[in-house]
Amino acid sequence: MFGYLIKRLIQMLLVLWVVSLVVFLMMSFTGDPVFMIVPIDATEDQIAQARRILGLDQSLPVQYWIFITSLLQGDFGQSYVFRQPALSLIVERMPATVEMVLVAMLIAVVVAIPLGVYAGANPKGRLSRIIMAGSLMGVSLPGFWVGMVLIYFFAVYLGWFPSSGRGETGEVLGVRTSLVTANGWHHIILPAVTLSLATMAILLRMTRAGMMEVARQDYMKFARAKGATRQDVLYKHGLKNALIPVVTIFGLQLGDLIAFATITETIFSWPGMGKLLIDSIYRADRPVIVVYLMLVALIFVVINFLVDLVYTLIDPRITLK
Amino acid sequence: MTAQTQNALLAVRDLRTHFHTFAGTVKAVNGVSFEIGTGEIMGLVGESGGGKSVVGFSILGLIDSPGKIEGGQILLDGEDLVTAGEPRLRQIRGRDISMVFQDPMTSLNPLHTVGQQMDEVLRLHTDLDAAARREACVAMLESVGISRAADRLGAYPHQFSGGMRQRVVIAIALLAQPRLIIADEPTTALDVTIQSQILKLMRQQIAARGASMILITHDLAVVSEMADHITVLYCGKVVERGPTRALIAAPAHPYTRGLIDSIPDPSNRHPRLRQIPGMVPDIRNLPPGCAFRARCPRAQALCAVEEPPLRALNAARSAACHYPLQPGEPA
Cα B258 from chain centre = 20
State which residue of chain B sits closest to A317, comparing Cα positions: B158
Strand order in the sheet with B41-45: B97-100, B180-184, B212-217, B41-45, B229-234, B237-243, B318-319, B311-312
Using CB atoms, which residue from B60, B124, B169 is nearest to A228? B124
> For residue B1, what pLDDT is reported?
40
Q: Is the pLDDT of residue A56 over 90?
A: no
- Report CA-CA distances (Å) from B72 to B69, B82, B157: 8, 8, 38
A226:B92 CB<8 A: no
Mean pLDDT lowest among A45-49, A251-255, B129-133: A45-49
**Residues in chain B within 8 Å Cβ distance of A242:** none
Mean pLDDT of B49-78: 89
Q: Name the more confident of B88 and A79.
A: B88
% residues pLDDT > 90 (chain B)? 56
State pLDDT tens for residues B201-223: 999 999 999 999 999 998 888 89
Using CB atoms, which residue from B65, B90, B106 is nearest to A217? B106
> For residue B6, what pLDDT is reported?
53
A317:B110 CB<8 A: yes
Identify the residue among A226, A313, A318 best suited for mutation to test binding to B, counting B beta carbons within 10 A and taking the highest. Answer: A226
Sequence-distant (6+) residues with CB within 8 A of B330 are none
Q: Is the pLDDT of residue B3 over 90?
A: no
> For residue B173, what pLDDT is reported?
93
Q: Is the pLDDT of residue A29 over 80?
A: no
| Distance (Å, whole) CA B170 – CA A89 | 64
| Distance (Å, whole) CA B67 – CA B82 | 14
B98 touches chain A (CB under 8 A): yes
Q: Is the pLDDT of residue B158 over 80?
A: yes
Q: Name the more confident of B24 and B247.
A: B247
**Residues in chain B within 8 Å Cβ distance of A124:** 65
State pLDDT tens for residues A188-209: 999 999 999 999 999 999 999 9
B106:A219 CB<8 A: yes
B94:A315 CB<8 A: no
Residues in chain B: 331
Phi-psi region of A231 (alpha: psi -120 to 50; beta: other; left: phi over 0): alpha
Q: Is the pLDDT of residue A43 over 90?
A: no
Using CB atoms, which residue from B110, B121, B156 is nearest to A226? B121
Q: Which helix (H) or strand (E) holds B32?
A: strand B24-37
Q: Is the pLDDT of residue A243 over 50?
A: yes
% residues pLDDT > 70 (chain A)? 100
| Distance (Å, whole) CA A170 – CA A147 | 26
Distance from CA of B284 to the nearest CA of A (A): 23
Q: Which helix (H) or strand (E) holds B318?
A: strand B318-319
Q: Is the pLDDT of residue A271 over 70?
A: yes
**DSSP code string of A48-96:** HHHHHHHTTTS-HHHHHHHHHHHHHTT---B-TTT-SBHHHHHHHHHHH
**Residues in chain A within 8 Å Cβ distance of B108:** 219, 222
**Residues in chain A within 8 Å Cβ distance of B120:** 223, 226, 228
What fold does the segment set B1-96+210-331 form as a domain?
Rossmann fold (3.40.50)
> For residue B269, what pLDDT is reported?
62
Mean pLDDT of A81-99: 87
Side chain identity at residue B311, one-letter code: R
Using CB atoms, which residue from A224, A240, A314 is nearest to B62? A224
B107:A240 CB<8 A: no
> Rounded mean pLDDT of chain A?
87
**Residues in chain A within 8 Å Cβ distance of B121:** 226-227
| Distance (Å, whole) CA A49 – CA A56 | 10
A225:B110 CB<8 A: no
Under 8 Å CB pairs connecting chains A and B tally to 72
> For residue A143, what pLDDT is reported?
82
Sequence-distant (6+) residues with CB within 8 A of A168 are A178, A181, A183, A184
State which residue of chain A sits closest to B57, comparing Cα positions: A225
Distance from CA of A296 to the nearest CA of B (A): 33
**Residues in chain A within 8 Å Cβ distance of B109:** 219, 222-223, 237, 241
The answer to whether the beta carbons of residues B44 and B214 sit under 8 Å apart is: yes
| Distance (Å, whole) CA A57 – CA B141 | 78
B133 touches chain A (CB under 8 A): no
Query: Quick one: which of B72, B71, B68, B62 has its CA closest to B19?
Result: B68
State pLDDT tens for residues B72-86: 999 999 899 999 999
State pLDDT tens for residues A159-186: 898 888 887 777 777 777 777 778 888 8
Task: Give the bridge partners for A172, in sequence order.
Answer: A175
- One-letter-per-residue 3-state SS of A118-180: HHHHCCCCHHHHHHHHHHHHHHHCCHHHHHHHHHHHHHHHCCCCCCCCCCCCEEECCEEEHHH
Q: Is the pLDDT of residue A27 over 90?
A: no
| Distance (Å, whole) CA B136 – CA B171 | 10
Number of other CB atoms surrounding residue A46 within 10 Å: 13
Backbone angles phi, psi at B303, to 5 degrees: -60, -25
**DSSP code string of A217-278:** SHHHHHHHHTT--HHHIIIIIIIHHHHHHHHHHHHHHHHHHHH--HHHHHHTT--SHHHHHH
Distance from CA of A8 to the nearest CA of B (A): 26
Domain regions of chain B by residue span? 1-96+210-331
B112:A237 CB<8 A: yes
Using CB atoms, which residue from B101, B124, B125 is nearest to A222? B101
Helix (H, G, I), strand (E, B) or coil at B159: helix
Complex prediction ipTM: 0.88
Q: Where does residue A313 rank: exposed (0-12), middle (13-18), buried (19+ CB within 10 A)?
A: exposed
| Distance (Å, whole) CA B248 – CA B256 | 8
- Compute the radius of gyration of chain A from its Cα atoms: 24
The answer to whether the beta carbons of residues A131 and A204 sit under 8 Å apart is: yes
Q: Is the pLDDT of residue A7 over 70?
A: yes
Q: Where does residue A278 rank: exposed (0-12), middle (13-18), buried (19+ CB within 10 A)?
A: middle
| Distance (Å, whole) CA B314 – CA B246 | 11
> Rounded mean pLDDT of chain B?
88
Interface of A with B (CB under 8 A): 124, 217-219, 221-229, 236-237, 240-241, 314-317
| Distance (Å, whole) CA A40 – CA A30 | 19
Q: Name the more confident of B201 and A56.
A: B201
Sequence-distant (6+) residues with CB within 8 A of A3 are none
State which residue of chain B sits closest to A243, comparing Cα positions: B111
State which residue of chain B sits closest to A229, comparing Cα positions: B90
Sequence-distant (6+) residues with CB within 8 A of B197 are B145, B163
Identify the residue among B88, B92, B107, B125 best suited for mutation to test binding to A, counting A beta carbons within 10 A and taking the highest. Answer: B107
User: Angle of helix B114-125 relative to helix B130-143, nearest 10 degrees?
Assistant: 120
% residues pLDDT > 90 (chain A)? 36
State pLDDT tens for residues A301-311: 999 989 999 99
State pLDDT tens for residues B287-297: 888 989 888 88
B111:A228 CB<8 A: no
B204 touches chain A (CB under 8 A): no
Using CB atoms, which residue from B60, B101, B156 is nearest to A218? B101
Distance from CA of A82 to the nearest CA of B (A): 53
Query: Quick one: which of B109, B155, B37 has its CA closest to A214?
Result: B109
Using CB atoms, which residue from A228, A229, A314 is nearest to B111? A314
Q: Where does residue A218 rank: exposed (0-12), middle (13-18), buried (19+ CB within 10 A)?
A: middle
The answer to whether the beta carbons of residues A268 and A195 sit under 8 Å apart is: no
**Residues in chain B within 8 Å Cβ distance of A222:** 99, 101, 107-109, 169
Distance from CA of B289 to the nearest CA of A (A): 36
Query: Quick one: which of A290, A300, A293 has its CA closest to A75?
Result: A290
Q: Is the pLDDT of residue B4 over 50?
A: no
> For residue B252, what pLDDT is reported?
92
Backbone angles phi, psi at A177, to 5 degrees: -140, 150
Confidence bin at B330 (pLDDT 50/70/90): low
Sequence-distant (6+) residues with CB within 8 A of B35 are B4, B5, B8, B10, B11, B12
Number of other CB atoms surrounding residue B76 within 10 Å: 19
Q: How far apart are the first and last CA of chain A?
A: 7
The answer to whether the beta carbons of residues A133 and A139 sit under 8 Å apart is: no
| Distance (Å, whole) CA B219 – CA B66 | 28
Sequence-distant (6+) residues with CB within 8 A of A267 are A144, A147, A148, A151, A191, A194
